[in-house]
């Protein structure tokens, strides 16, 4: 095994950086034991590594943090001043809710119309109450209501799309 294993400086760096697999690490350990001259090279690499990690961080000029905060506060203030109102969103939800309620009431009303006013005392033979689906779906309330809700949803999708485009444009500007 030792005959076809040659240690290179890159492999020694990988050994020092702990990149090697357990098997390769064992090979390097074995090689280092048999070739003490490579031990010296490893020590040199470790000392260079220590020098890298001992490097000091650069310090920005005095007042840097304050400048960042001033810019941030000013951007927030500007953002608040120019941000669009949240009104339209709420309005759309409110209209949808009212219409949804209206449609539901209409459906309940239509359903109740299909049930006899007085229930028989005895339980009738197993038969499901017949619902006049044609009557329900054919009512103008349902038809126009459905169109209205679909229109609202389409408007919402368009609004989202425009919002996304606006955000992308902003990002491109940055």
Rounded Cα distance, 98 and 64, in Å: 53
* Nearest residue (CB) to other proteins, 16 versus 92: 16
104 is an interface residue for other proteins by CB under 8 A? no
56 is an interface residue for other proteins by CB under 8 A? yes
Which one of the spans 67-75, 133-141, 142-150, 158-166 is the region binding other proteins (CB under 8 A)?
Answer: 67-75
* CB contact set of 51 (below 8 Å; sequence gap of 6+): none
* CB contact set of 13 (below 8 Å; sequence gap of 6+): 45
Which one of the spans 22-30, 70-78, 89-97, 142-150 is the region binding other proteins (CB under 8 A)?
Answer: 70-78
DSSP per residue over 141-160, as a string? HHHHHHHHHHHHHHHHHHHH
Specify the residue for token string 């357990």.
22
Size of site (CB under 8 A) for other proteins: 27
Using CB under 8 A as the binding rule, the residues of this chain from 72 to 101 that contact other proteins are: 72-73, 75
Which one of the spans 55-63, 96-104, 139-147, 153-161 is the region binding other proteins (CB under 8 A)?
Answer: 55-63
DSSP per residue over 46-110, as a string? HHHHHHHHTPPPP-PPTTHHHHHHHHHHHHHHHHHHHPPPSHHHHHHHHHHHHHHHHHHHHHHHH
* Nearest residue (CB) to other proteins, 91 versus 167: 167
**C-alpha Rg value of the chain to the nearest Å:** 38
Rounded Cα distance, 136 and 5, in Å: 84
- Binding residue for other proteins (CB under 8 A) from 1, 62, 65, 117? 65
* Nearest residue (CB) to other proteins, 72 versus 93: 72
58 is an interface residue for other proteins by CB under 8 A? yes
CB of 23 to other proteins, least distance (A): 18
Binding residues (CB under 8 A) for other proteins: these are: 10, 13-14, 17, 19, 49, 51-61, 64-65, 67-69, 71-73, 75, 174
């Amino acid at each position: 095994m030792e005959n076809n294993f040659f240690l290179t400086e890159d492999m020694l760096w990988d050994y020092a950086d702990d990149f090697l697999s357990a098997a390769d690490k064992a090979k390097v350990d074995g090689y280092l034991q048999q070739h003490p001259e490579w031990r010296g090279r490893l020590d040199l690499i470790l000392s260079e590594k220590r020098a890298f990690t001992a490097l000091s961080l650069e310090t920005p000029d005095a007042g840097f943090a304050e400048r960042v905060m001033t810019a941030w506060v000013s951007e927030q203030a500007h953002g608040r001043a120019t941000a669009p109102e949240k009104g339209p969103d709420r309005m759309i939800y409110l209209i949808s809710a009212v219409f949804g309620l209206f449609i539901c009431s209409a459906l309940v009303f239509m359903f109740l119309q299909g049930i006899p006013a007085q229930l028989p005392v005895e339980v009738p033979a197993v038969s499901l109450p017949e619902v006049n689906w044609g009557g329900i779906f054919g009512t103008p309330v349902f038809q126009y209501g459905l169109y209205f809700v679909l229109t609202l949803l389409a408007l919402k999708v368009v609004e989202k799309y425009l919002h996304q485009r606006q955000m992308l444009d902003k990002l491109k500007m940055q």
